[in-house]
Amino acid sequence: MADYKLIGKGYSTPDLVAKVTGRAKYAEDFRAEGMLFTKLLLSPMPHGRVRSLDTSAAMAMPGVMAILTADDLPEVEAPGERMLTNEPLYEGEPILAIAATTEAQAADAIEKVKIDLEPLPFAVDPLESLRPGGSNARLEGNTMSGRDLIDITWTNVDWDQVDNGTLPTDGEVTDEWEVGDVEAALQAADLVLDETTYHQSTGHQPLESRTAMAYWQNGKCYLHVSTQSLARTHAAAARLVNVDPENAVVIGEYCGGGFGSKIFGSIQMGIPGLLSQKAGKPVMMRINRLEENFIGRARPGMASRIRIGYRKDGRVTAIDMFTVQDGGPYGSSGDFMSAADQASLMYTPANIRCRGVNIYTNTPPRSAQRAPGGVQVVAMCAPMMQKAAKQLGIDQLELMKINAPSGQQTFGRPRQGVQGNVSSAFVREAVDRGIEKFDWEAMKAKSGQRNGSKVTGIGVALSSYAAGVSGMDGLLTIRPDGKVYIQQGVGNLGTGSVFDTARAAMEALQTDWEHAEVVWGDTSKHMPWSSIQAGSMTTHAHTRANWAAGLDAKRKLQEIAARDLGGSPESYTVANGRVFSGARSMTFARAAQRAIALGGKFDGHELPEDINEMTTAAGGGLAGIGLMGIAKDNFDTGGRNMSYAIGFAEVEVDTEVGSVILKDYKVASDAGTIVNPRTFAAQLHGGGIQGFGVALGQKWIYDRRWGLNLSGRFYSNRPTTMLDVPHEKKMDWVAADKADPFNPLGARGIGEPSQGAGCGAVQCAIADALGDGYFNRTPIMLDMILTNVEGLPEGVARLAAHS
Amino acid sequence: MGDVEQVEQQHDVEGDGFSRRTFIKGVIATGASVSASSYVFKDGSVVRAQAPGSVERLVTVTVNGQQRRVDVLPEETLATTLRYKLGLTGTKIGCDRSECGACTVLVDGVPHYSCSMLTHQVRGRSVQTIEGLEAADGTLHPVQQAVIDEQGFQCAFCMPGFVMNMVALVEENPSATRAEAAQHLSGNLCRCADYNKILNVAERAVELSRRS
């Protein structure tokens, strides 16, 4: 790795003291004079239509100040979602909102609303919607084809086969792509594995719900929200409260978790804004845990038939994926398509086909969740790779390396007939680092060891996912106090990247972090055009953007020094808060004063032409207060930025009671240069642990007769707890630590692939402990392990959703 | 026997260990009506109007070493009082149902879920929240320092609850092992799943506490 001053070094992020003393303010921590509270009327049924609504008694209740219904909102074309609806498409969907002086008054008023809901047909299981005679989630159809809602029924399919747990592949689908000739390659393969798998839907469940508070001042709406991305939430928030972006201020300094469910904030964040406008007072909308589990988004589950063809030497020659996806009620999720992209990248088959259909269900809305499609595909394919390794007599990691991407690997769905490529891949190097550091031979030796009724299993899984975008803007000012103020329009989700990427600017200025002030969390504070804080994009995108702004500031410092002190700009060095050449030297504080005096480009009165208009506005707002570094990221790009994590899990399966104890978990990775090892490791391990939850516990259970969720609480939908993780010793990790050639600092993101690695490695470890068993359904529950051990039929229909 | 005494007696009888039964009995005993079973009320504590003459409203609670006199409704939870009456928003509400532990505070040194405890139950008792850990001169509590040293937690919404529970851990078990810390902290959820690093923090907190 290059010799950096700040990059690659651990430090404490500047928000940590505020967090640990309770001073950090999340959306529900703000108060405003005369603040009202709102409560929502939620649909008690999975699908219905408001036949009549009488709110007169509710409005006459004490303290009630305003009401908002779907009739107050603009229409949205199906399958789009509105913040309130007259045709709820899932249990818990908000129908109206009432604001009152106290929350209890609002709740009491909701009780007085007379509402007549006409129950409509519903579907909670996508396969049931495809079955002849099955009902659909939406009146207009059960899926999208292009821009049209259509109804697909599988009349030609052998439904007995479905009921017996095998997904037929002759049903109609809406999406399809192929590279090479999959059928021919499968025919020619030495080994073909053919499995039907089921991956559950999982709620995001951030610990902070999507609570929001809003007030208006002088025609501007101020919104305190929980959002992953700040700058990119601005326009969305403005649209929801019907104002231009310059009349909306979004404040979101801290976000209590999102995992993809709050990329642009949340759709319901507009409710307090509109109610506040009506009532003329601030409005707080507290979303409680049950409400969050309804409106808080989820990862689409999927049932897939997967066929993988192998040559004797372990090379994957063909992959065929056929998927029915559980799409929730709105939008059109593409998880199954990106799942195939990731299969194409991880296993690099010359022949691959993806076919699938996204079926609407009356279950909570789906959105991106940490590695959308990526986690599902690892969960479904990693155990098959393990099985193939055993059948072919090849070491699992050797099989991984044989098929791993390298260099600028091409992969995925072709666009205009051509596959894209990655910017770089050092997966084999990462695997080798893991083999060495984690002592793979010693790990393998533990496989199958028995201790009473407990059997040890070892599992590994490769997981890949997107890790960066480019073309964002960087903005900073060096002010007369000598400090460097770095404007960060991404969000503060706790990944650390809002601060970590600001260090790229200080690296360019070769100046200590103590001289930096990061400005974030409030759109009125002049934010540059930024990436969404999602999809592991930030680290790559904003090391580049801030490096660009830092270099721009450096050039201006050199020019000012040369102008004032003589010599050429190039003869000056910038470091440690000074610009100097021999004995000629100027502090940042002095240079800032000179920049203000000189004006023009130096203090932001003249701005580059290629920056985004959001950055132009931000630069204009900061003009004249110091030396401005402002630039678009125009650095070279070399393909899609993808990162990789390889999970190594050791479990102990108790064959008597069916329990799984995770003894150890370690991760090897390839994500370019590591910007901050502490936040990097947190992503590897935290993501991995979320993956354990997917493998072992997290799911919904629906009452199929009434379409109601029976698992609306943490204890019933089972996210991972402290007791689910190894706690005898610290989890280890290692990185290939090879700079990405298409980032000036070599960095990429790592948050996405880590979850699939954890999930897949644990599944493989369980299968390893139990011999040849392959668990085709996640989460792997006690009963599945016990029926496997006893050789009994499975207790749950393999393809039944949410049961 | 007055309603408040009744609540207090119930509390004493059942000791410091929280039970949902105590909480519900407390709500009933204070004369507040338990709300209808409509789906609106399946979750969340809501602040409602005072039922006249049911219970004394002004109570004194020692919060972070200061005696605070506060106007409290009969069924008001400690989390609500702290956050909405006393301005102590460091205590977070993650689930309102004793599931996640984000609202954990210390009552007479013992960790409690403040979402599931009535403010009337802590009358005259000593409550410590995350805001009360830092010394007047800005010196952080060893547990807070451990968080800084280890870059503990991610989104940190769960952090106040974990930190308060960890403060109790280092008091109760000054030589707690990593595994013991995991058991002690298992009533707190972290959805970022930063558990590995949280246990690093716990180990560091034990070490720093022993030194101080």
pLDDT tens for A34-75 read: 999 999 999 999 999 999 999 999 999 999 999 999 999 999
Residue given tokens 């979004």 in the structure block: A250
Q: Enumerate the residues of chain A whose CB falls inside 8 A of the CB of residue B179.
A: 727-728
- pLDDT at residue B30 in the model: 45
Please name the residues between 70 and 109 in chain B that touch chain A, using a CB distance below 8 Å.
83, 87-97, 99-100, 102
pLDDT-derived band at A796, boundaries 50, 70, 90: confident
Rounded-to-integer distance, Cα A31 and Cα A468, Å: 37
B137 occurs within a structural domain: no
A288 occurs within a structural domain: no
How many domains in chain B? Answer: 2
When pLDDT is averaged across residues A398-420 and rounded to a whole number, the result is 97
Judgement on whether residues B148 and B171 belong to the same structural domain of the protein: yes
Task: Calculate what percentage of chain A has a pLDDT beyond 90.
Answer: 97
Cβ B82 vs Cβ A29: under 8 Å: no
ipTM: 0.97
Judgement on whether residues B81 and B7 belong to the same structural domain of the protein: yes
Which region holds residue B87: left if phi is over 0, alpha if psi is between -120 and 50, else beta? Answer: left
- pLDDT at residue B38 in the model: 30
pLDDT-derived band at A2, boundaries 50, 70, 90: confident
Judgement on whether residues A329 and A444 belong to the same structural domain of the protein: yes
Selected residue of A96, A207, A224, A261 to mutate for chain B interface (largest B Cβ count, 10 A): A207
Q: What is the CATH number of the domain that holds B18?
A: 3.10.20.30
Which tokens hold the place of B97? 């149902």
Q: What is the CATH number of the domain that holds A94?
A: 3.90.1170.50
pLDDT-derived band at A405, boundaries 50, 70, 90: very high
pLDDT-derived band at A793, boundaries 50, 70, 90: confident
A287 occurs within a structural domain: no
When pLDDT is averaged across residues A369-394 and rounded to a whole number, the result is 97
Residue A376: closest CA among A343, A416, A412, A399: A343
Show which of A102, A120, A138 is a domain's final residue.
A120
Selected residue of A727, A750, A759 to mutate for chain B interface (largest B Cβ count, 10 A): A727
**Ordered strands of the A584-587 beta sheet:** A573-575, A578-581, A584-587
Judgement on whether residues A500 and A452 belong to the same structural domain of the protein: no
B66 occurs within a structural domain: yes
Judgement on whether residues B17 and B81 belong to the same structural domain of the protein: yes
Rounded-to-integer distance, Cα A238 and Cα A231, Å: 12
Q: Is the confidence at residue B12, as pLDDT, over 80?
A: no
Q: What is the CATH number of the domain that holds A505?
A: 3.30.365.10
Measured in degrees and rounded to the nearest 5, phi and psi for residue B209 equal -65, -40
When pLDDT is averaged across residues A286-301 and rounded to a whole number, the result is 97
Cα four-point dihedral sign A680, A681, A686, A691: positive
Judgement on whether residues B14 and B90 belong to the same structural domain of the protein: yes
Rounded-to-integer distance, Cα A346 and Cα A321, Å: 14
Range of the domain at A429: 299-468+639-790
Judgement on whether residues B109 and B162 belong to the same structural domain of the protein: no
Q: Is the confidence at residue B9, as pLDDT, over 70?
A: no
Q: Is the confidence at residue B211, as pLDDT, over 70?
A: yes
Judgement on whether residues B63 and B116 belong to the same structural domain of the protein: yes
Rounded-to-integer distance, Cα A464 and Cα A753, Å: 5
B157 occurs within a structural domain: yes
A654 occurs within a structural domain: yes
Rounded-to-integer distance, Cα B112 and Cα B105, Å: 6
Q: What does pLDDT average to over chain B?
A: 83
A458 occurs within a structural domain: yes
* B13 close contact with A: CB closer than 8 A: no
Judgement on whether residues B116 and B150 belong to the same structural domain of the protein: no
B192 occurs within a structural domain: yes
The per-residue pLDDT for range B30-72, each reduced to its tens digit, is: 443 333 323 233 334 554 544 555 566 899 999 999 999 999 9
B117 occurs within a structural domain: yes
A140 occurs within a structural domain: no
B47 occurs within a structural domain: no
- pLDDT at residue A87 in the model: 98
Rounded-to-integer distance, Cα A702 and Cα A361, Å: 12
Range of the domain at B162: 142-211
B175 occurs within a structural domain: yes
Judgement on whether residues A687 and A745 belong to the same structural domain of the protein: yes
Judgement on whether residues B179 and B119 belong to the same structural domain of the protein: no
Selected residue of B196, B206, B208 to mutate for chain A interface (largest A Cβ count, 10 A): B196
Judgement on whether residues B205 and B149 belong to the same structural domain of the protein: yes
Judgement on whether residues B73 and B161 belong to the same structural domain of the protein: no
Q: Enumerate the residues of chain A whose CB falls inside 8 A of the CB of residue B74.
A: none
* Closest residue on chain B to A45 (Cα): B39
- pLDDT at residue B57 in the model: 87
- pLDDT at residue A612 in the model: 98
Least-confidence region, from A101-115, A692-706, B1-15, B142-156: B1-15
A703 occurs within a structural domain: yes
When pLDDT is averaged across residues A239-263 and rounded to a whole number, the result is 97
Judgement on whether residues A412 and A519 belong to the same structural domain of the protein: no
B116 occurs within a structural domain: yes
Three-state secondary structure along A352-374? EEEEEEEECCCCCCECCCCCCCH
Judgement on whether residues B71 and B18 belong to the same structural domain of the protein: yes
Q: What is the CATH number of the domain that holds B198?
A: 1.10.150.120
A277 occurs within a structural domain: no
The per-residue pLDDT for range A113-170, each reduced to its tens digit, is: 999 999 999 999 999 999 999 999 999 999 999 999 999 999 999 999 999 999 999 9
* Closest residue on chain B to A40 (Cα): B40
Bond from prior residue into A365 cis (ω within 30 degrees of 0): no
Judgement on whether residues B180 and B120 belong to the same structural domain of the protein: no
Show which of A120, A139, A163 is a domain's final residue.
A120
- pLDDT at residue B161 in the model: 98
- CB distance B147–A20 less than 8 Å? yes
Q: What does pLDDT average to over chain A?
A: 97
- pLDDT at residue A1 in the model: 60
Judgement on whether residues A328 and A476 belong to the same structural domain of the protein: no
How many domains in chain A? Answer: 3
pLDDT-derived band at B7, boundaries 50, 70, 90: very low
Rounded-to-integer distance, Cα A239 and Cα A80, Å: 14
pLDDT-derived band at B11, boundaries 50, 70, 90: very low
Judgement on whether residues A381 and A476 belong to the same structural domain of the protein: no
Helices H / strands E in chain B, number of each: 7, 5
- pLDDT at residue B19 in the model: 52
A1 occurs within a structural domain: no
